Structure formats: structure tokens, C-alpha cells
């Protein structure tokens, strides 16, 4: 009724196939997790880059607002050559703007003042970002 040799003739492929499927699925999960991690880092760097751009633009606007005279025909007042603008607001926390103003050779009829602003966010971190804005006033 129960022959002894029935177990000896069976040759199954279930175990090797199961091991192969588990290995392939684990590699797919590992690849997807690494992709998710790198995507998260890229988004973080993009946000830091945008914050640095806004810090540079804000720093330039602060310096320009301080330079502009009340009389639009007069020349802008000459500020110091190099100005550092720290930010205390939440959106630009841990950001600073370093603003450089070119020499002022302004006459009431013509003349150009160049304002270069370097925005830096995430100072001394792996996600540090720097952006530069240059504005010319006439």
C-alpha cells in the first residue's frame, strides 16, 4: 500500500525556486530603498539651494534699500565695501548673505553701482548651499 521507494524517485525544484524568488525580491526592495534615500537627499539639497538663493536676493535688497536716496535723481549713498546680513526669520534660519558693493562712480546723469550678494545656507553641514545674485543699479 505504501511503497518505500516513492520518496526516492521524487526530485522537486520548489526549494531552489523559492530561494531564487526570495533573493530577487530582497534585491528589489534594497534597490527601491536606496532610490528613496537618494531622492530624499536630492530634495533636501534642492530646498537648501532655494533658501540660499532667497538669502542672496534678500541680502542684496536690504543693502540696496539702505543705499537708495530719497531723491531719485541723486546718486545712491556709498555703503561699506562688504556687508554681512544675518537672518533671524524662520524661513532663512542658519542662512547668511555676504554682500559686496562695487566702487560708486555715480554722477546724476549716469553711473553704475554693482551689488553682488552671496547667500549661504546650511553653514558647516553636508547640505551647505551657496548661490550668488548680482544686481546693477543705474
- Angle at Cα 68 formed by Cα 63 and Cα 71, nearest 5°? 170
Give CA–CA dist 42/48, Å, rounded.
Answer: 10
pLDDT band at 133 (very low <50, low <70, confident <90, very high): very high
pLDDT band at 122 (very low <50, low <70, confident <90, very high): confident
Boundaries of every domain in the chain: 13-137
Tell me the per-residue pLDDT of 2-33, one tens digit each, with 9 for 90 and over: 656 666 666 677 888 999 999 999 999 999 99
pTM for this entry: 0.67
Tell me the per-residue pLDDT of 52-86, one tens digit each, with 9 for 90 and over: 999 999 998 888 887 776 665 555 555 567 788 88
Pairing of strands 95-101, 113-121: antiparallel
Tell me the per-residue pLDDT of 78-118, one tens digit each, with 9 for 90 and over: 556 778 888 888 888 888 899 988 755 555 555 677 889 99
Average pLDDT, the chain: 81
Classify residue 103 as exposed, middle or buried by CB count within 10 Å of its CB (0-12, 13-18, 19+): exposed
Rounded to the nearest 10°, the torsion over CA 59, 62, 64, 66 is -140
Amino acid at each position: 500500500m505504501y511503497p518505500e521507494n516513492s520518496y526516492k524517485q521524487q526530485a522537486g525544484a520548489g526549494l531552489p525556486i523559492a530561494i531564487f524568488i526570495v533573493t530577487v525580491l530582497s534585491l528589489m526592495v534594497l534597490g527601491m530603498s536606496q532610490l528613496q534615500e537618494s531622492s530624499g537627499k536630492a530634495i533636501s539639497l534642492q530646498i537648501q539651494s532655494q533658501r540660499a538663493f532667497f538669502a542672496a536676493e534678500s541680502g542684496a535688497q536690504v543693502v540696496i534699500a539702505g543705499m537708495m536716496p530719497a531723491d531719485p535723481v541723486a546718486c545712491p549713498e556709498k555703503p561699506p565695501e562688504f556687508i554681512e546680513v544675518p537672518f533671524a526669520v524662520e524661513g532663512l534660519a542658519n542662512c547668511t548673505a555676504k554682500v559686496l558693493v562695487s566702487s560708486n562712480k555715480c554722477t546724476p546723469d549716469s553711473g553704475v553701482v554693482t551689488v553682488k550678494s552671496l547667500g549661504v545656507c546650511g553653514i558647516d553641514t553636508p547640505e551647505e548651499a551657496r548661490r550668488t545674485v548680482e544686481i546693477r543699479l543705474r
